């Protein structure tokens, strides 16, 4: 397993290009099962989860290719089983349910199981698909589903689940009649999927709001599409600039989609300016702690709480982060404390008291965003930090060590 060794203390300077969004590319890749013909996607990040998804699409009967940032997918036949050995490595595999039911009227998908940040059930996906006529059986760790042609339905989600909205949009685009999704997730990645499906001839409206309407159509046609930039990767680099007291310009940074994070960073005392498609972060003096509650979009994103916590741990005064989306998303706290942070957990709230400095030490990555938080802390810690199990990082950050190295960070990847 690889590890990262980072010598902290260098203010990062220069320009970093944001890659395509992992959380937009994954559902769009599953949606490539739906149209006839070869789909061409650009701005696709080269990440483990993307490669895993392409392997799964091939098992489901597609021909795929991935060169540079361009992916092509063409459905040649339809197989309807997603095996456990692939699904267990990537929860997003459950997103093949909607397309397979829409296309073939059947699907057999291994239950994703939990992951480091929580149980992450799919009960809301199943209940909504049942409203459209799918019949489910849960057998030995697999979800089996069957249906005749799915029928449009009026569905209200108990919770604005991102994956649930994505699965249901993909199920509804070929269904009979209209489907209405109420209390739907408003995340930009859900809207990017809708834009892709509409580019293939679907009739979706309301995406980006909490009421999404989908008119079923007989078929979809392949197209070319550019995946949106990754707002979470971008936010991570904005914080890298802030935590090292540097001056990083983030190119292709999706500013409107980062409103909640940018507001909190400005409240901490950071100067964040937009100049010709670049966002520049500067620090003028002390930063102060803030209080954050993670919410569904457009609230503060759960995928940024670990990264902001690293910044808060070296800011003046105290702050708090309440994690309301996942039940176990504080695995980074004990590791940050090993670096000298002063963070106390009270249920689903972390109380962060800023310290004068962090000190490098060996730490362990546990999940994707916790790993990013440890990298950010290491960039400012005195001395060397060794981060083990960075395969977690490779799931969501394209070429992170070369991007940080180009900004001046003293960082190297070592194979254990």
CB of 10 to ligand EPZ, least distance (A): 26
Give residue number: closest CB to ligand EPZ: 163
- 96 vs 200, 204, 373, CA distance in Å? 18, 19, 30
Which of the ranges 78-86, 154-162, 256-264, 343-351 carries the binding residues for ligand EPZ, by CB under 6 A?
Answer: 154-162
20 φ/ψ angles, rounded to the nearest 5 degrees: -65, 155
For position 182 contacting ligand EPZ by CB under 6 A, the verdict is no
Q: Distance between CA atoms of 244 and 250, rounded to whole angstroms?
A: 15
Tokens 């802390």 label which residue?
A: 377
- 110 vs 30, 121, 139, 144, 314, CA distance in Å? 16, 12, 9, 9, 42
CB of 87 to ligand EPZ, least distance (A): 13
Indicate the residue among 121 and 141 with the shorter CB distance to ligand EPZ: 121
Which of the ranges 7-15, 159-167, 212-220, 314-322 carries the binding residues for ligand EPZ, by CB under 6 A?
Answer: 159-167
For position 236 contacting ligand EPZ by CB under 6 A, the verdict is no
Binder of ligand EPZ out of 46, 48, 120, 146 (CB under 6 A):
120
Q: Distance between CA atoms of 73 and 12, rounded to whole angstroms?
A: 38
For position 332 contacting ligand EPZ by CB under 6 A, the verdict is no
For position 123 contacting ligand EPZ by CB under 6 A, the verdict is yes
For position 326 contacting ligand EPZ by CB under 6 A, the verdict is yes
Indicate the residue among 73 and 368 with the shorter CB distance to ligand EPZ: 368
For position 397 contacting ligand EPZ by CB under 6 A, the verdict is no
Binder of ligand EPZ out of 11, 61, 105, 118 (CB under 6 A):
118
CB of 297 to ligand EPZ, least distance (A): 7
253 catalytically annotated: no
Indicate the residue among 10 and 168 with the shorter CB distance to ligand EPZ: 168
**Environment class of residue 285 by beta-carbon count within 10 Å: exposed (0-12), middle (13-18) or buried (19+)?**
exposed
Indicate the residue among 74 and 187 with the shorter CB distance to ligand EPZ: 187
In the range 10-69, which residues lie near ligand EPZ by CB under 6 A? 23, 26
As given in the structure block, the two tokens for residue 79 are 């197989």
DSSP class of 298: T
For position 381 contacting ligand EPZ by CB under 6 A, the verdict is no
Indicate the residue among 123 and 274 with the shorter CB distance to ligand EPZ: 123
For position 204 contacting ligand EPZ by CB under 6 A, the verdict is no
Binder of ligand EPZ out of 15, 37, 156, 159 (CB under 6 A):
159
Which of the ranges 70-78, 120-128, 261-269, 383-391 carries the binding residues for ligand EPZ, by CB under 6 A?
Answer: 120-128
For position 368 contacting ligand EPZ by CB under 6 A, the verdict is yes
Indicate the residue among 123 and 286 with the shorter CB distance to ligand EPZ: 123
- Can you give the length of the chain in residues? 416
Q: Distance between CA atoms of 149 and 104, rounded to whole angstroms?
A: 9
Q: Distance between CA atoms of 270 and 352, rounded to whole angstroms?
A: 18
Q: CA 316, 365, 67 angle in degrees (round to 5)?
A: 115
As given in the structure block, the two tokens for residue 329 are 């998303």
Query: Which residues are CB-contacts of 5 (< 8 A; sequence separation ≥ 6)?
Result: 384, 385, 386, 387, 411, 412, 414
CB of 88 to ligand EPZ, least distance (A): 15
Binder of ligand EPZ out of 37, 121, 141, 177 (CB under 6 A):
121
CB of 161 to ligand EPZ, least distance (A): 3
For position 212 contacting ligand EPZ by CB under 6 A, the verdict is no
Which of the ranges 66-74, 158-166, 201-209, 398-406 carries the binding residues for ligand EPZ, by CB under 6 A?
Answer: 158-166
Query: Which residues are CB-contacts of 254 (< 8 A; sequence separation ≥ 6)?
Result: 18, 188, 228, 229, 231, 234
Q: Quick check: helix, strand or coil at residue 272?
A: strand
Contact 121, 127 (CB under 8 A): no
**Environment class of residue 67 by beta-carbon count within 10 Å: exposed (0-12), middle (13-18) or buried (19+)?**
exposed
CA dihedral of 292, 296, 297, 302, whole degrees rounded to 10:
50
Q: Distance between CA atoms of 380 and 360, rounded to whole angstroms?
A: 9
Which of the ranges 156-164, 207-215, 262-270, 279-287 carries the binding residues for ligand EPZ, by CB under 6 A?
Answer: 156-164
Which of the following is catalytic: 32, 96, 115, 253? 115
Q: Distance between CA atoms of 345 and 368, rounded to whole angstroms?
A: 20
Q: Distance between CA atoms of 2 and 107, rounded to whole angstroms?
A: 36
Residues taking part in catalysis:
115
List of residues contacting ligand EPZ (CB under 6 A): 23, 26, 91-92, 118, 120-125, 159, 161-164, 187, 189, 302-303, 325-326, 368-369, 396
């Amino acid at each position: 397993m690889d590890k990262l060794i980072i010598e902290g203390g260098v203010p990062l300077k220069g320009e970093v290009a944001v890659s395509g969004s992992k959380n937009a590319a994954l559902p769009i890749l599953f949606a490539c099962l739906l149209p006839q013909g070869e789909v061409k996607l650009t701005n696709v990040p080269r990440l483990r989860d993307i490669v895993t998804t392409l392997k799964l699409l091939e098992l489901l009967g597609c021909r795929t290719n991935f060169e540079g940032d361009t992916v092509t997918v063409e459905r040649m036949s339809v197989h309807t089983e997603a095996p456990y050995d692939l699904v267990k490595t990537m929860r997003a595999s459950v997103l093949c349910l909607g397309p397979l039911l829409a296309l073939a009227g059947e699907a057999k998908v291994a239950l994703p199981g939990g992951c480091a940040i929580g149980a992450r059930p799919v009960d809301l996906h199943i209940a909504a698909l049942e409203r459209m006529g799918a019949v489910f059986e849960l057998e030995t760790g697999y979800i089996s589903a069957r249906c005749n042609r799915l029928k449009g339905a009026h569905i209200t989600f108990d919770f604005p689940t991102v994956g649930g909205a994505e699965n249901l949009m993909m199920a509804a685009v070929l269904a009979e009649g209209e489907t209405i999704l109420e209390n739907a997730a408003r995340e930009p990645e859900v809207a990017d999927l809708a834009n892709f499906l509409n580019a293939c001839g679907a009739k979706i409206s309301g995406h980006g709001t909490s009421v999404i309407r989908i008119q079923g159509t007989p078929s979809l046609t392949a197209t070319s599409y550019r995946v949106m930039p990754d707002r979470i990767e971008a936010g991570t680099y904005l914080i890298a600039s802030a935590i090292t007291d540097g001056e990083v310009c983030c190119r292709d940074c999706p500013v409107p989609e980062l409103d909640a994070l940018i507001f909190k960073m400005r409240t901490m005392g950071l100067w964040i300016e937009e100049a010709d498609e670049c966002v520049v972060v500067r620090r003028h003096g002390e930063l102060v702690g803030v209080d954050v509650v993670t919410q569904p979009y457009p609230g503060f994103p759960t995928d940024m709480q670990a990264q902001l916590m690293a910044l808060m741990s070296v800011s003046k005064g105290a702050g708090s982060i309440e994690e309301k989306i996942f039940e176990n998303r504080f695995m980074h706290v004990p590791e940050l404390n090993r670096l000298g942070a002063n963070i106390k957990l009270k249920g689903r709230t972390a109380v962060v008291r800023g310290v004068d400095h962090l000190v490098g030490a060996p730490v362990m990555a546990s999940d994707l965003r916790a790993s990013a938080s440890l990298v950010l802390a290491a960039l400012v810690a005195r001395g060397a930090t060794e981060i083990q199990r960075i395969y977690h990082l490779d799931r969501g950050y394209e070429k992170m060590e070369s991007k940080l190295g180009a900004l001046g960070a003293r960082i190297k990847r070592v194979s254990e």
